């Protein structure tokens, strides 16, 4: 009934084993060592904090007779940041105190932030440490752009005559401002607690004065070529741009986080793993101004240079609210995206559920394959499934004929590929624009799409819109399932209720296996 996701020296994250999206069907209480510590819980993922290091605990929940035993990890020490002079009053600049405390912290040490507001410039993390933010503790980013160091996209290795990568933005190795929480070439880092990391961009010029700056905006948390990093329990909010950005990293975990930004804030994606492997995003809540999760692997030059796909990502028991896409692949996916599993999630009021963004020019290494969505509930999502190989944003060639031409062009080193996609056990209520919109290239059709045990209904107040960002896109209103340039389409036990168009619109589809498509008004 209970599975352990993560155990640190002072916290634990746990998951109920069921097939329900995000919430359990009944409330439950949490009992720790015989004492009730939480009541009226509903979420499938829950956390405990304030535990003692190297200690055995027994956990139970009121709706099960099973007991689960776990042991917290040992640690070398736990140090209060105020021992190094941090004030936490929200007015004093605590940067020097925090940087000194991190630098001095021993291996396997924990740096503890008690309740308070710690105003700071960017911080560099090192390996083998834990930062714990207590409930009521906020790390608050400075609004002064001048205190954010500039980091080069690459720097020359004077011995080996090659470049060493350090910084990036939107799929390119590019000079950027240092992020508030920043780590490079590090391992075994833990950021935990019920506190908050706040980029404070709402009180700065990061969201208003960036288009002409040649230096890319910082993220809130940036991890370059790191491994074994976990963020657990925190509130992450108001980043200058993307909130969480692991880059060419592996074994990265995001557990029981709340990630927030205003709906109109620019490029404030919640979590954008780029060219990473083994990323777990479990039990998190999202409400941001752009994509909730955007899985990336660089633009064509980065894809060609490193040939590193985003691989083996798991997204489970998450709640996505608002945002352009609940889960987006691309558009910077020059290295490909493989082996993605999305399970037991709720998408509320996002523009799209799954959103694939690619186009000619992303390259032959831009392969997306092995994508599974199951046990998903969507409500008021404009278009639940969008697979768009004609994406027309972000690059200088976006409006060229090469991007928009519907002619069958030659397949070459610039041509991307979409492989096999499976969507099953989903309810999609109150759709507006389309049930799904899947548009491949004539020279490189989408390989195979399976939709199984899915129901689509439409909002009575639906408004027309364009399901995908592409040149010359047409509007839909309560559109059915639209497929163009697909090699193989499998439909089984799908219900479309209330579409204004034909429930199935299939153009240039090689083979259709249609078993029990039910259409009602």
Q: List, in sequence order, every beta strand (DSSP E) within 89-158.
A: 89-93, 109-113, 116-120, 123-124, 129-133, 137-141, 150-151, 154-157
Which of 378, 320, 383 is closest to 356 using CA atoms? Answer: 383
**Length of the chain in terms of residues written:** 521
User: Is residue 313 flagged as an active site residue?
Assistant: no
Catalytic-role residue among 94, 256, 269, 290: 290
> What DSSP state is assigned to residue 476?
B
Q: What is the pLDDT of residue 395?
A: 76
Owner of token pair 């499998």: 490
CA 271 to chain centre: 3
Q: What is the pLDDT of residue 516?
A: 84
Q: Which two tokens stand for residue 28?
A: 């439950």
Three-state SS for 419-447 is: CEEEEEEEEEEEECCEEEEEECCCCCCEE
Question: Helix, strand, or coil here: 477?
Answer: coil
Owner of token pair 């479990």: 282
Question: Helix, strand, or coil here: 298?
Answer: strand
Residue 480: C-alpha distances to residues 67, 101, 152, 514 (Å): 47, 58, 48, 15
Q: Report the CATH number of the 75-275 domain.
A: 2.160.20.10
Alpha helices in 293-393 (DSSP H): 300-306
Q: Report the CATH number of the 2-71 domain.
A: 2.60.40.10
Q: What is the pLDDT of residue 98?
A: 98
Residue 201, CA atoms < 13 Å, CB-side half-sphere:
30
Please give the angle made by the CA atoms of 486, 491 and 497, to the nearest 5 degrees: 110
Is residue 453 packed enough to be buried (19+ CB in 10 Å), middle (13-18) or exposed (0-12)?
middle
Contacts of 513-516 with CB under 8 Å at 24 or more apart are 513/488, 513/489, 515/491, 516/491, 516/492
Is residue 161 packed enough to be buried (19+ CB in 10 Å), middle (13-18) or exposed (0-12)?
exposed
Cis before 402? omega within 30: no
Catalytic-role residue among 324, 395, 432, 439: 324
Is residue 174 packed enough to be buried (19+ CB in 10 Å), middle (13-18) or exposed (0-12)?
middle
For residues 72 and 52, the answer to whether their CB atoms sit within 8 Å is yes
Q: What is 386-432 written as a DSSP string? A: EEES-B--SSTTTTSHHHH--S-PPP-TT--EE-EEEEEEEEEEEE-
Q: What is the pLDDT of residue 1?
A: 85
Task: Give the number of other Cβ atoms within 10 Å of residue 281's Cβ.
Answer: 28
Residue 54: C-alpha distances to residues 12, 67, 216 (Å): 12, 19, 43
User: Is residue 432 flagged as an active site residue?
Assistant: no
Residue 368: C-alpha distances to residues 106, 147, 330 (Å): 42, 39, 9
Partners of 279 in beta bridges: 252, 313
| Residues in the chain where the model's pLDDT stays below 50 | none
Which of 103, 111, 180 is closest to 140 using CA atoms? Answer: 180
Partners of 43 in beta bridges: 23
Residue 81: C-alpha distances to residues 131, 139, 186 (Å): 10, 12, 22
Is residue 305 packed enough to be buried (19+ CB in 10 Å), middle (13-18) or exposed (0-12)?
middle
Which of 136, 139, 138, 135 is closest to 48 using CA atoms? Answer: 135
Q: Which two tokens stand for residue 194?
A: 């019920």
Interacting residues of 208 by C-beta distance below 8 A, sequence separation 6+:
none
Is residue 57 left, alpha or beta, with left meaning phi > 0 and alpha meaning psi from -120 to 50? Answer: beta
Burial 243-261 (b: 16+ CB within 10 A, else e): bbbbbbbbbbbbbbbbbbb
Burial 88-123 (b: 16+ CB within 10 A, else e): beeeeebbebbbebbeebeebbbbbbbebbbbbbbb
State how far the Cα of 258 lies from the Cα of 193, in Å rounded to an integer: 12
> What DSSP state is assigned to residue 310?
E
Instruction: List phi, psi (to 5°) of 401.
Output: -60, -30
Owner of token pair 């020296």: 9
Residue 359: C-alpha distances to residues 142, 261, 331, 472 (Å): 38, 28, 8, 15
């Amino acid at each position: 009934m209970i599975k352990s996701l993560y155990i640190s020296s002072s916290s634990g994250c746990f998951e109920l084993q069921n097939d329900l999206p995000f919430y359990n069907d009944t409330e439950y209480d949490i009992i720790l060592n015989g004492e009730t510590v939480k009541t009226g819980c509903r979420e499938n993922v829950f956390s405990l904090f304030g535990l003692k290091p190297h200690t055995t605990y027994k956990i139970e929940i009121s709706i099960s007779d099973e007991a689960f035993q776990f042991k917290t990890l040992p640690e070398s020490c736990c140090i209060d940041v105020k021992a190094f002079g941090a004030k936490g009053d929200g007015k004093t600049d605590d940067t020097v105190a925090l940087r000194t405390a991190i630098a001095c912290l021993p291996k396997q040490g924990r740096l503890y932030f008690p309740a308070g507001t710690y105003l700071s410039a960017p911080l560099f993390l090192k390996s083998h440490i834990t930062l714990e933010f207590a409930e009521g503790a906020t790390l608050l980013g400075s609004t002064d752009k001048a205190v954010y160091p500039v980091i080069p996209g690459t720097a020359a290795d004077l011995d080996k005559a090659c470049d060493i990568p350090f910084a990036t933005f939107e799929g390119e190795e590019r000079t950027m401002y240092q992020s508030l929480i920043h780590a490079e070439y590090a391992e075994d880092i833990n950021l935990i607690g019920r506190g908050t990391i706040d980029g404070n961009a709402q009180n700065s010029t990061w969201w208003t004065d960036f288009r002409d700056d040649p230096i890319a905006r910082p993220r809130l948390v940036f991890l370059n070529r790191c491994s074994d990093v976990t963020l657990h329990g925190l509130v992450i909010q108001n980043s200058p741009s993307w909130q969480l950005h692991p880059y060419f990293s592996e074994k990265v975990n995001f557990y029981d986080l709340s990630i927030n930004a205003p709906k109109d804030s620019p490029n404030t994606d919640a979590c954008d793993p780029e060219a990473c492997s083994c990323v777990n995003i479990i039990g998190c809540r999202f409400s941001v101004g752009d994509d909730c999760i955007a899985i990336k692997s660089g633009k064509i030059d980065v894809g060609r240079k490193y040939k590193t796909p985003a691989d083996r990502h798991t997204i489970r028991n998450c709640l996505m609210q608002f945002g352009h896409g609940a889960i987006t692949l691309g558009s910077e996916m020059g290295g490909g995206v493989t082996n993605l599993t999305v399970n037991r999630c709720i998408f509320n009021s996002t523009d799209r559920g799954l959103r694939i963004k690619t186009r000619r020019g992303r390259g032959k290494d831009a392969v997306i394959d092995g994508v599974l969505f199951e046990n998903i509930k969507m409500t008021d999502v404009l278009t639940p499934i969008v697979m768009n190989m004609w994406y027309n944003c972000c690059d200088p060639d976006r409006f060229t004929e090469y991007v928009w031409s519907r002619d069958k062009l030659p397949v070459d080193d610039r041509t991307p590929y979409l492989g096999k996609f499976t969507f099953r056990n989903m309810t999609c209520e109150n759709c507006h624009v389309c049930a799904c919109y899947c548009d491949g290239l004539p020279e490189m059709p989408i390989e195979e799409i399976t939709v199984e045990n899915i129901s689509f209904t439409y909002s009575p107040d639906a408004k027309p819109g364009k399901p995908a960002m592409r040149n010359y896109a047409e509007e839909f209103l309560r559109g059915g399932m639209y497929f163009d340039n697909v090699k193989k389409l499998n439909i089984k036990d799908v219900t479309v209720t209330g579409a204004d168009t034909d429930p199935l619109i299939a153009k240039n589809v090689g083979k259709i296996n249609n078993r029990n498509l039910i259409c009602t008004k």
